[in-house]
Structure 1
Amino acid sequence: MNDDDPVLDDPVGRSLAGRHAALARRLGRAATYLDEVASFSAVSTDPDARDWADLAALLGPGAFADLFSCPAVPPSDWEPVFTLEGRQMIWSGGERPDGAGSEPGTGVVELGAESVPEMLDLVRRTEPGPFRPRTHELGTYLGVRVDGALVAMAGERLRPPGWTEISAVCTAPEARGRGHAARLVDALVARVLTRGERPFLHVAEANTGAIALYERLGFKARRPVTFRGFRTP
């Protein structure tokens, strides 16, 4: 698969138009996820005034517009909320990771709707990024339990054609340093590769520890990205 695959330049838009279409709201060429699923929105790759007006109408007045890595900047009456420098990384580690799978004995389990309260609590304590009550519907989410308590998790988020994003990688403070994140990412990578797809992810540029981990697990940088959020007029 081509490292320069253009679908990765618009991962939100391509996901909303494809495998996540059932989880989307659309108006014209603007789209956003259902509120309880995710915060991300998208416009066309060459947005005009009509596209921005449609997105504003879709979200409502004074609403948060999470444009993820969209390079286009909205009109001047959209209030900037945040800007975060990051990088997009793609799997380059071969056919299958060394620690693949969620077989018995690995401590890795699949998480479903019944685990959402624990997942939200773990996200609240570790702040890996946006996560909402129905985010788990975007793909498979895996976790590690110790004495029944959820102490680590990771899952699948954006899914442009041919790719699956690994996201929400987090470990409770009291359980760090035990390799949970590596096992979870390896298990997800194995699942993605089994489907004939390729894993990718996004990470904040300042998170050097996470970048080093992902590099050890077989990921390499594809391009720098800037994450932006705005408030509609």
Structure 2
Amino acid sequence: MDVLDDPVGASLGGAHAHLARRCGRAVRYDPEVASFSSVGLAPGPGAWDDLAALLGSGEFADLFSCPALPPARWKAEFALEGHQLVQERQVRPAAPAGLRVVELGAADVPEMLALVARTRPGPFRPRTRELGTYLGVREGGPDGGDGGGALLAMAGERLHPPGFTEVSAVCTAPEARGRGLAAHLVGELAARITARGERPFLHVAAANTGALALYERLGFVRRADVVFRGFRTP
């Protein structure tokens, strides 16, 4: 599981290499896809200089769960304690009655962005859906909808280090909470990931105890405590 110590760098060096932007020892996602950057687990001073050159002066550096800290001249923007979890047993809740589970594509992006704006599950950009499969729950049963039902919940795949896929962007509209929509979507995604021979993992803020309890019910266990950090380049 060592690849999970630097999941951003491991993803950009493999499955997501086509979405990478590089400068020397620093790498980041295309900014329309994701905000994350990596300088590895033990970067030297030159790696931080490379990242500053890659991002530009006075720009935001989202270092995700990187344990290394940049030089003092970098301004700290935030630090959020969290947990990294890996699924050890598969739990697949039943599909919600009277609703449709659909794969979300490019035409759904405006609705996806609107749902993210209402629920704030974490960073999500116009091309984030290119990281993997995104599923949504819409109003209307399989025989009773015309495809235009409101998007009530979604979840998708994000980081993709070798052998693993991260479940992310789990969110439910306030008016649809309490119906098991998030549980079903996470269970469905995890089942698909497992079926192709990979292991599902995810991240959760330590303060989000409700989400942590949900993921534990779905068979996820804590692998590591992490700190999500953001900085401003010199």
TM-score band w.r.t. shorter chain: over 0.9
In structure 1, the partner of 2:230 is: 229
Q: When the two structures are superposed, what TM-score results if normalisation uses the length of structure 1?
A: 0.94
Paired AA for residue 23 in structure 1: L
Residue 32 to residue 110, structure 1, CA distance change in 2 (3 Å): same
1:109 aligns with 2:102: yes
Q: Secondary structure at the match of 2:202?
A: strand
Could you say which residue in structure 2 is the equivalent of 1:81? 77
Q: Distance in 1 between matches of 2:168 and 2:98?
A: 23
* Alignment partners' CA distance in 2, 1:36 and 1:159: 17
Letter matched to residue 27 of structure 2:
A
2:189 partner letter: L
What TM-score, normalized to structure 2?
A: 0.94
1:98 aligns with 2:92: yes
Aligned counterpart, 1:52: 48
Q: Which runs of 5+ in 2 are unaligned?
A: 141-148
Work out whether residues 64 and 230 of structure 1, in 8 Å CA contact, stay in contact via their aligned partners in 2: yes
SS at match of 2:51: helix
Aligned: 1:120 with 2:113:
yes
* CA drift at 1:106: 6.4
Residue aligned with 1:107, SS: strand
CA distance in structure 2 between the aligned counterparts of 1:129 and 1:86, rounded to whole angstroms? 13
Identity level (%): 69
Contact 2:99–2:139 under 8 Å retained in 1: no
Q: Distance in 2 between matches of 1:86 and 1:172?
A: 23
State whether residues 96 and 179 of structure 2, in contact with CA within 8 Å, keep that contact through their aligned partners in structure 1: no
Unaligned runs of 5+ in 1: none
- The alignment covers a number of residue pairs equal to 226
The answer as to whether partners of 1:25 and 1:34 remain within 8 angstroms in 2 is yes
- Give, in whole Å, the separation in 2 of the partners of 1:116 and 1:134: 8
Question: C-alpha distance in 1, partners of 2:60/2:101?
Answer: 35
Shift of 1:10: 0.5
Give CA deviations for 1:41-80 in whole Å, capped at 9, x if unaligned: 0002221111100000000001000000000000111000
8 Å Cα contact 1:153/1:184 also seen in 2: yes
User: Which whole-Å deviations, capped at 9, do the CAs of 1:185-222 have from their partners, x for residues lacking one?
Assistant: 01101110011000000000000000000011110111
Conserved 8 A contact 2:40-2:66: no
Partner of 2:70, secondary structure, is coil
The answer (yes or no) to whether the contact 2:4–2:161 under 8 Å persists in 1 is yes
Matched, 1:183 2:184: yes
